[in-house]
Amino acid sequence: MSQKSGRLLKIYALLKQKPVTIDSLKQWALKNNIAISERTFYRDLQTLEEAVLTEGEQIIVTTGEKNKKTWKIEFHGDDRLTEFDITSYLLFQKFLPLPLVQSRAASLERIREIFYKTYSKSRFEDFAAYSTRQLFSTGFGQFTGEESYSKTLEDMIWSIRNHREIELLKTQFDITSISQSVHFPLTFFPLKLIYHRGVVHLGGYTKNGKKLLILAMSQIKTYRLSNSSFNCAPLLKDFETEMQNRFGITENQDENIYDIELEFSEMLGSFVKNDFWHPTQKFKQKKNGNITMKMHCGINRELVGWIFMWMTNVRVVKPQLLKDLVLDKYREVLNDYETDKPLVSNNSFRAK
């Protein structure tokens, strides 16, 4: 197979997964070490437009902002939804984060109507009726939303999609231990929406200093959109590296990465080892039945809080720094109860 034929097949495979633009193809080529010009990409896409695709497929080209073209494959056929397919959609709809359900109720209803009209022969309406009785979300611990939530979310999506800077003018509270060196207002490069612990967050980098910053959508009070663009490709690579160095999404209290070891009681450890907590996690059962967990990441408020969640069923083995932090927090809690002193905001994990 020629180099061009192989490249065309790869682009065709991408088109079957999602729409593409010249910018997205450039990023794909960079990631896969494919060195070709923008002009070549245009020629490849033209070739695919004129090619005979699989029956029921057609390449559609749309032109958006600043004449930016998007290529996608439209499928025409008589595919029927199975019971499994319908249940998958209903699970997705019912178990969305509460603020998304509230802010997008009208859109979700329109999608339901489209499914009903298009796939009525698949008994969609029967399963939809069942879902109201069978599926239930508690919404426990989730942000209840504000009227501005939907608009803020749409604006963030637009900025990410179009690689546009955002002026973050004012935020409230602190969910992710934002470093003391970060001051608002600031110019921000938005990269991703992050779903974590039932909350949608915005992740990206500050323009000055290129510091990774993650904010819950509910934290963003006032902002200003911008038409100033930025190059997201190198930032995305840094983002993936930095996120792997965190436990969860909270900022680390220092720049060091530690070999962390925890010991869980046998019963709890048997539960914890079946869930995903960090990409580097490794579990091993000891002779006494207890479970050890090893990770390679930074230390942050989220890690210490997570350890606290398991109460007396977990013990820090190493490093000593993490052990000391947990012990210090236990002593602080005990002192608060013994002295009954007024509670004050205290985030001792914020980096400088």
Determine the 3-state secondary structure of 210 from DSSP.
Answer: coil
Distance CA 118, CA 113 (A): 8
Question: Mind giving me the DSSP string for 37-88?
Answer: -HHHHHHHHHHHHHS--STTEEEEEEE-GGG-EEEEEEE-S-----HHHHHH
Burial 67-97 (b: 16+ CB within 10 A, else e): eeeebebeeeeeeebeeebbbebbeebeebb
Pairing of strands 220-229, 164-171: antiparallel
> The pTM is what?
0.74
Output the pLDDT for position 331: 93
166: enclosing H helix or E strand:
strand 164-171
Strand partners, 91: none
Q: How far is CA 36 from CA 7, 22, 31, 177, 236, in A?
A: 10, 12, 13, 42, 21
- Whether residue 325 is predicted with pLDDT greater than 60 in this model: the reply is yes
Q: Residue 118's pLDDT is what?
A: 64
* pLDDT tens per residue across span 160-213: 999 999 999 999 988 888 988 899 999 999 999 999 998 899 999 999 988 999
The more confident residue out of 146 and 314 is 314
